[in-house]
Structure 1
């Protein structure tokens, strides 16, 4: 179920759809409790691979640290 939530969250914040052809071809979802453990494992690994492939293909811009952007203020809880 977690991988489905990660997929939906990523799609929601980026607006990009993650193609999940392999996952969908397995025709298994987290609520299919009658399926065996291997089927669920294969589905999780397929979906995870498709999520990672999509994220890697976007090649995010690296964020660099500069002292000009750093703040001297530190938040502390009492």
Structure 2
């Protein structure tokens, strides 16, 4: 994957994260992502930095979704 494509993916994933936080009314864990200091607009950062940021952001989103699905769902019918 080219750097430009990775930056684009990084931006899309950041938008998915923002949308998920609004829709699920929760906060995605951003600690690992924040520590990297790489944002989609950080075009001067290396391809490797953006790749690490994409993986950290994806991990945060999936962990948030896993926690959401682990909550018990009522067995009653509507």
TM score, norm. by length of structure 1: 0.74
Structure 1: which 5+ residue stretches go unaligned? 62-78
Could you list the runs of 4 or more consecutive aligned residues of structure 1 that deviate by over 3 angstroms after TM superposition?
none
Which position in structure 2 is the counterpart of 1:5? 15
**TM (normalized to structure 2)?**
0.74
Cα-Cα RMSD: 1.1
Structure 2: segments with no counterpart, 5+ residues: 1-10, 74-78
Higher relative contact order (CA 8 A, sep 6+): 2
Q: 1:59 Cα shift?
A: 1.1
Larger helix percent? 2
Question: Is residue 2:58 matched to residue 1:44?
Answer: no
1:76 is aligned to none
Corresponding residue for residue 44 of structure 2: 34
